[in-house]
A and B are shown apart, each in its own frame.
Chain A
Amino acid sequence: MSLFQNPFDAQSRLSCACGRHASQAEHDLAQRRESSEDLQARAVEGAVMRALFPQDALRRAFLKAVGSGTAMAAVSTLFPLAAAKDAFAQGTGALEKKALKVGFIPITCATPIIMAHPMGFYAKQGLDVTVDKAAGWALIRDKALAGEYDAAHMLSPMPLAISMGVGTGSAIPWTMPAVENINGQAITLSIKHKNRRDPKTWKGMKFAVPFDYSMHNYLLRYYLAEHGIDPDTDVQIRAVPPPEMVANMRADNIDGFLAPDPVNQRAVYDGVGFIHTLSKTLWDGHPCCAFAASKGFVTQMPNTYRALLKAIIEATAYAHNPANRKEIAAAIAAPNYLNQPVTVVEQVLTGTFADGLGKVVQEPNRIDFDPMPWQSFAVWILTQMKRWGQVKGEVDYKKIAREVFLATDALRLMKEAGYPVPDAQDKSFTVMGKPFDPSKPDEYLASFKIRRA
């Protein structure tokens, strides 16, 4: 989890592709040793260092040259690190509102939001949070827009769409202070297609995705297009709420879906489908769902917002540790939350799962939890929105990404302190073998053969 890495360690790479330590064991050990306060301090330090050194290589060279102690002292003179850490850690005043309502969709992506309730992460921050199960993405959006929810679980493209007024009546400034999970989705096909594994043969199939503005939609389209299938003309892609997908697949209404878990695993559990491929094979470390709140909430109730975000980040860090996953699965599978058999949720979280074709697969990184809302994620999402004609005309990628994906609170503090907000919030990554450069979105877009824009 790059957010929690020591940015003053010359050996570590802040912006590596997977964001992990040299070895998983070393990383987990470090993770367990650090208390959540340390983690937060790290997050602030990380943001500052990223800001000062847009080029990761430069940062490493600098640290090697002067040593981390000197570097920390030098940076502290430039920027009140201690003050920023304090401000982020304790907030500056009493909570404006204690009783909060947070909406979620019953899928494992929402794990940090859900588990924070039964496992006491909200209570620890003095918050009385009601987690409210919503029936679909459109509803969660409408309830959030109506102010019925203080914050909500959303698909990471949704805050972008809302902020641009795409799919809603008017543009409403929305923010995404944290990503919930990375990876954790899969393409599941109906069991009758078990011999049609080559996507090139999928012409005429009917697919489901949870929502038009979802990573699922963009990833599925991307995957199909890379295999020469035009997602608009060669196949049918429709939005179906995740809970209804398995029932529809059983009824032969759809041939497959790219869906969040536990839907994929549930299809296997009921013998309806098999897992064709995990989303991590398309893009390892892709964001999926997000913790989102209106800009009004963030600015009008800064202390409450900070406490809530703190609870979420702590829960995310706890969920990141594979050793805790079984305990979490048991806590969130109950009828009050996911309402699924425990074994289904456990298979998703632990990554030891039945694939639907008679094999038990071990894939510890099937799902992971990392709160860092990289702005390059937002830029990629925007390129895909434009690629498939959801947004038309010129898009100010950087501006929207910056305004919606709140990289960290530290960044906000920096802006107030008069520091130029850098473009360093970027993490480059590769989608199906094709590197993405967030500074050249238009070139990236133009490089696709199948596109609507």
Chain B
Amino acid sequence: MPVARRWRSVLVSFVILVLVLGAWQAATHSEEAAAVVDPAYAALVGNAAASGGKTPFPGPGEVAAQLWRHLQDPFYDRGPNDKGLGLQLAYSIARVLTGFLCAALVAIPLGFLIGMSRTLYEAFDPFIQVLKPVSPLAWMPLALYTIKDANLSAMFVIFICSIWPMLINTAFGVGSVRQDWLNVARTLEVPRLRTACKVILPAAAPTIMTGMRISIGIAWLVIVAAEMLIGGTGIGYFVWNEWNNLSIANIICAILFIGLIGMALDVLLARAARLVSYRE
């Protein structure tokens, strides 16, 4: 039965895909209008403009062709402003991972500290509550102004947006370790540091991992926007550059890849979370 259901859902997924592509094709299919201008003029403008229309939204076929072109040569490098899609994705992933790891290095120990002390928790709380809802991109001008390096600024933005979910989840996870377990440790006269490593950390690990998973999702969302602002390299820059060229087909390709990579990152962290999960 579960196998049959699995096949059924695959089939439904497929039907949805076909329906979406069909609707897309139908919506973008346009009648070839007769040229209303002289050939000398038509040679100077796009096909659609020559017949008095606007350049249409690309159809699925056009996007597929573009996608195929990217897949054939994803890692070309023709100077600082023209790199392959694969290379651009690699730049973005590197930025996200750097910013994310730095954030983890700060957020997890700090979260531990805050989670273990009620006073510290309440002292930090107002700052966290105010800073957490700030859009990471709002930090961008400030970062550029002070760090004076566009690439580092992008990483800083990733850092600042990934820190909050990890910090809060770590503090929450550490704070809600069952009192019984701590009491047992205390009865056995386990030193504080050892308690932290052997009791609190494993107990809070699933919550911490959830925080990390939320963080990397946000980081991946933010990097595209950040790179559209700073330019240079990365998938966000690619989107911006193709927007500059009004190449919607390329932008759709990029969107597809952004989605796939985002999913891959999420799956990776979900796997890692499963490693540290436990049943009570």
Contacts and interface: CB of A to CB of B under 8 A. Distances in A.
Nearest to B241: A339
Contacts of B237: 135
Given A106-B244, A244-B243, A271 B81 contact: no
Interface string B67-85: 0000000000011111000
A139 B145 CA distance: 10
A269 B46 contact: yes
Contacts, number: 113
A354 B45 contact: yes
Interface string A299-336: 00000000000000000000000000000000000111
Interface string A277-305: 00000000000000000000000000000
A271 B80 contact: no
A206 interface: no
Interface residues of A, number: 45
A271 B231 contact: no
Contact of A146 (B78, B80, B149, B231): B149
Nearest to A169: B145
A130 B46 CA distance: 32
B246 A347 contact: no
Interface in A136-158: 136, 138-139, 142-143, 145-148
A132 interface: yes
Contacts of A205: none
A145 B48 CA distance: 43
A250 to B, nearest CB: 7
Contact of A347 (B44, B48, B54): B44
B240 interface: yes
B246 A135 contact: no
A131 B46 contact: no
Contacts of A440: none
B231 A135 contact: yes
B264 interface: no
A358 interface: yes
A82 B53 CA distance: 61
A247 B246 contact: yes
A135 B228 contact: yes
Contact of A134 (B54, B82, B231, B245): B231
Contacts of A148: 148-150
A250 B54 contact: yes
A246 B246 contact: yes
Contacts of B37: 358
Contacts of A130: 80
B236 to A, nearest CB: 9
A271 B229 CA distance: 28
Given A135-B228, A135-B231, A271-B49, A354 B41 contact: yes
Contact of B243 (A136, A138, A247, A347): A247
A139 B141 CA distance: 9
B243 A132 contact: no
B229 A135 contact: yes
A133 B41 contact: no
B144 A135 contact: no
B245 A146 contact: no
Interface in B145-171: 145, 148-150
Interface of B: 36-38, 40-41, 43-46, 48-49, 52-55, 78-82, 141, 144-145, 148-150, 228-232, 237, 240-246
